[in-house]
Amino acid sequence: MPGQDAGTPRVFIMRHGQTVWSQSGQYTGETELDLTKDGEQQVLASGKMIIGSGKLIDPVNLAHVYISPRNRAKQTFDIAFPEADKKAIADSNRVSITGRLAEWKYGQYEGLLTREIRALRKEHGLDTERPWDIWRDGCEGGESPQEVTGRIDDLIREIRAFQKDGMHGEKPSDVVLVAHGHLLRAFTKRWLGYPLEFPLALMLDPGAVGVLSYQHHNIEEPAMMIGYGFPLQE
């Protein structure tokens, strides 16, 4: 990490590659879908660019990799990380599959588009004063924002418990999360201390990677890195 915050632990958030439903805009929670060919290439390109020895995500700096239990997330990890690095991380017990990173449970909205969800809710007599917003209203038959917040906050507490002792690079403390679009944006809001309904517009393309960290080497100052300076490669 460049500048005054060099050595501060980071949390890399990686969204799985494209599926047919992410391409069409259909809400995909518990439905198991494989990556498309384009999705595989998205992940492969990101992995080659930023994962490996001396790169942004250097396996020697990793304390842990957390992966959603959905197949599309596990497939993304398998493609993004080189085989030798995957083996080293797994052999040292630094990989976990956790339901805390599963995508939002959409309930009745699984497989629907936003406009279809809003039409369905209108049929149910909901949202008479304002349009549906998942961050505020949650999902019928699925999860509420409070339920998603609970599982995310539990993971954040776990991460900060071991990162607090590596705020100046004393030990490998970086973390990678491999998960989903809504879940990772929700994670970012909670990392920064905002409720899910806070109007913070965030974007994360399939196969893309974002970076969270801390200001001033301080566990009490979580931050989002909105820009990253790369060293000159000789």
CA gap 206, 185 in Å, rounded: 13
Q: Is 104 annotated as a binding residue?
A: yes
Alpha carbon of 64 to those of 35, 74, 81: distances in Å?
Answer: 24, 15, 13
In whole angstroms, what is the distance from residue 88 CA to residue 94 CA? 9
Q: Is 74 annotated as a binding residue?
A: no
Tell me if 103 is assigned to a ligand binding site: yes
Strand intervals (E) in the chain: 11-15, 62-67, 95-97, 174-179, 209-214, 222-224
21 is in an annotated binding site: no
Say whether 105 counts as a known binding-site residue.
yes
Catalytic residue at 217? no
Asked if residue 29 belongs to a known ligand binding site, the reply is yes
Start-to-end CA distance of the chain, whole Å, equals 18
How, if at all, do strands 222-224 and 209-214 pair? antiparallel
Three-state secondary-structure class, residue 87: helix
Phi, psi of 216 (to 5 degrees): 55, 30
| Beta carbons of 35 and 119 less than 8 angstroms apart | no
Is 143 among the residues known to form the active site?
no
Residue 27 counted as an annotated binding residue: no
Q: Quote the CA–CA distance of 99 and 143 in Å, as a whole number.
A: 13
Q: H-helix or E-strand containing 145?
A: helix 145-163
Set 64, 103, 143, 182: catalytic member: 103
Read off the amino acid at residue 10: R
**Known binding-site residue numbers:** 28-29, 72, 103-106
Catalytic residues: 16, 103
**Known binding-site residue numbers for substrate:** 28-29, 72, 103-106
